[in-house]
């Protein structure tokens, strides 16, 4: 079976009922939190873009959504450039062409640690010198049982292992948050915009609910 069709089936089964909720959450996340690292004239790459919740909502001059899933092209807003390919292969993007690389809940779905390193090294290749990488994902240190409830989770990662992987790939880490967002948006957790906005403004609360890491880095100088 075509791997892209496998991805599409998994995404539809998992997210079809929660997509409206996810869109609301990401509108607030981009506006109230992630936008601080993205300037309006930047070029931004969303790696493993999925349903494009981040890249559709971030304010940037040039937007790229990189994903093998056919759903990505349908979900991408006008002005988003979709790069449909296997991310474990060389990326169809030019050297030093983007200012910000973002990836959320994607690296754990890769088949091996070699694929994780390939992904980060390709990110380093396409990034300009004074640029930023932002990585978000489930922290195995705080969700070690629920983590395996998802059939397509292959690589258990933590804030610590992500820092090491970035360092091996030519980055320095500028911010490490071991507990940021809750593990999943599924379930009955309220997603009112004012509650999400308030949560983002009170980092102390992240220690009680956060099960995802947030790691931010910059390319080391050549």
Banded pLDDT at 108 (limits 50, 70, 90):
very high
Residue 4 has pLDDT above 80, yes or no: no
Q: Please report the pLDDT score of residue 185 as a whole number.
A: 62
- The model's pTM: 0.89
CATH number at residue 105: 3.40.50.150
Closest by Cα among 73, 64, 67, 20 to 43: 64
Q: Please report the pLDDT score of residue 189 as a whole number.
A: 62
Tell me phi and psi for residue 81, to 5 degrees. -90, 115
Residue 97 has pLDDT above 70, yes or no: yes
* Burial bucket for residue 41 (CB in 10 Å: 0-12, 13-18, 19+): exposed
197: CB partners within 8 A, 6+ apart: 28, 32
Q: What is the mean pLDDT of residues 95-119?
A: 97
Q: Kindly report, residue by residue over 60-76, the tens digit of the pLDDT.
A: 999 999 999 999 999 99
- Whether residue 169 contacts residue 135, with contact meaning beta carbons closer than 8 Å, is answered with no
Q: Give the structural domain span for 99.
A: 3-219
Q: What is the mean pLDDT of residues 7-24?
A: 62
Domains contained in the chain, number? 1
């Amino acid at each position: 079976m075509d791997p892209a069709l496998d991805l599409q089936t998994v995404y539809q089964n998992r997210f079809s009922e929660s997509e409206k909720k996810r869109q609301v959450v990401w509108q607030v996340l981009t506006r109230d939190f992630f936008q601080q690292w993205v300037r309006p004239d930047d070029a931004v790459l969303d790696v493993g873009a999925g349903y494009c919740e981040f890249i559709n909502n971030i304010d940037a001059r040039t937007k790229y959504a990189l994903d093998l899933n056919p759903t990505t092209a349908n979900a991408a807003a006008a002005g988003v450039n979709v790069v449909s390919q296997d991310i474990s292969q060389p990326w169809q993007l030019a050297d030093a062409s983007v200012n910000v690389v973002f990836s959320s809940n994607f690296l754990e779905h890769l088949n091996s640690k070699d694929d994780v390193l390939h992904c980060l090294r390709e990110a380093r290749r396409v990034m300009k010198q004074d640029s930023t990488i932002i990585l978000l994902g489930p922290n195995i240190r705080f969700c070690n049982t629920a983590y395996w409830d998802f059939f397509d989770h292959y690589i258990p990662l933590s804030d610590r292992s992500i820092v090491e992987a970035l360092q091996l790939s030519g980055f320095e880490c500028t911010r490490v948050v071991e507990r940021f967002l809750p593990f999943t948006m599924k379930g009955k957790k309220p997603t009112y915009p004012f509650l999400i906005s308030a949560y983002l403004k009170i980092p102390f609360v992240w220690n009680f609910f956060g099960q995802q890491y947030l790691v931010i880095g910059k390319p080391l100088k050549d």
